[in-house]
Amino acid sequence: MPATNNHASRGSFDAAAQDAVYRAIFTRRDVRSHFLPDPLDDEVLARLLLAAHHAPSVGFMQPWNFIVIRDLARRQQVRDLFFDARRQEVEHIGADRQALYRKLKLEGICESPLNLVVTCDRSRSENSPLGRWHNPEMDLYSTVCAVQNFWLAARAEGVGVGWVSIIDREALKQLLAIPDHAVPVAYLCVGRVSEFAPKPDLERHGWGSRLPLADLIMSEVFAGVGEEPLKRIAAGMAPSAV
């Protein structure tokens, strides 16, 4: 939803570019199915990785690395890790939701043409505490920004991305020979898709719904009351691109 007032700030995008940015945000989906078997062109993948590499990072540490996984046998091993982790996770899901959980499609590891692991090298900025002295986890947060950049660029290119979080981290590190000082932050399924769902899968299947933005806005302190004009505006807004 781009700005509608006539007071464009210096450096702002034109209306068409603003529309494109908001469209990428509002139509981005966590893709689990609908992957096409077509290989993803290396030039496209390189552009997506370049977008990821230009994410903000605290202290300009740039802690990310990108492991591209194309080998089907290796991806089958990762999928086995997923199945093991899912069997463990389902035991902690409420009994009333377990049936729905088992029906959900939660990965596309072998259906997508390639997988991508985004890691955080926690040793990369060990000699520079800028921005991390009081918040040492900022390297992890910076890596998540790279994931989001990749994801939005992928949506703009018509490429689907699915984040598989149901994997034992240590087992994945062993399988992919990830050293101790690196942390796998995101395991992504990547590829062209036949369609992007109009709504997130978990919303479509009744697992959850989007919280009202106005209910999440606070004033000055946590749970602070106020900002009523802002809340009214937020309550009346809807993603125009969806």
Indicate if 216 and 191 belong to the same structural domain: no
Indicate if 181 and 230 belong to the same structural domain: no
Indicate if 32 and 60 belong to the same structural domain: yes
Indicate if 37 and 86 belong to the same structural domain: yes
Please indicate, yes or no, if residue 18 is contained in any of the structural domains.
Answer: no
Indicate if 190 and 225 belong to the same structural domain: no
pLDDT of residue 238: 84
Indicate if 85 and 148 belong to the same structural domain: yes
Indicate if 119 and 161 belong to the same structural domain: yes
Please indicate, yes or no, if residue 226 is contained in any of the structural domains.
Answer: yes
Distance CA 186, CA 85 (A): 15
Q: Along the 242 residues of the chain, how does pLDDT read in single tens digits?
A: 555 555 568 899 999 999 999 999 999 999 998 999 999 999 999 999 999 999 999 999 999 999 999 999 999 999 999 999 999 999 899 988 988 888 888 899 999 999 999 999 999 877 777 878 889 899 999 999 999 999 999 999 999 999 999 999 999 999 999 999 999 999 999 999 999 999 988 888 889 999 999 999 999 999 999 999 999 999 999 886 44
Please indicate, yes or no, if residue 142 is contained in any of the structural domains.
Answer: yes
Please indicate, yes or no, if residue 148 is contained in any of the structural domains.
Answer: yes
Please indicate, yes or no, if residue 21 is contained in any of the structural domains.
Answer: no
pLDDT of residue 60: 93
Indicate if 192 and 231 belong to the same structural domain: no
Indicate if 77 and 168 belong to the same structural domain: yes
Instruction: Please state the domain count of the chain.
Output: 2
Please indicate, yes or no, if residue 76 is contained in any of the structural domains.
Answer: yes
Q: How many CA atoms lie within 13 A of 1 on its CB side?
A: 9
Indicate if 73 and 50 belong to the same structural domain: yes
H helices of 66-200, in order, are 72-90, 98-103, 138-156, 169-175
What is the residue range of 61's domain? 28-198
Q: How far is CA 86 from CA 12, 81, 137, in A?
A: 45, 9, 27
Do the Cβ atoms of 24 and 157 come closer than 8 Å? no
Please indicate, yes or no, if residue 134 is contained in any of the structural domains.
Answer: yes
CATH for 112 = 3.40.109.10
DSSP assignment of 113-124, as one string?
Answer: SEEEEEEEETTT
pTM: predicted TM-score of the whole model, two decimal places = 0.91
pLDDT of residue 6: 53
Indicate if 110 and 226 belong to the same structural domain: no
Instruction: Assign residue 215 a region (left: φ > 0; alpha: ψ between -120 and 50; beta: otherwise).
Output: alpha
Distance CA 115, CA 109 (A): 7
Indicate if 33 and 145 belong to the same structural domain: yes
Please indicate, yes or no, if residue 11 is contained in any of the structural domains.
Answer: no
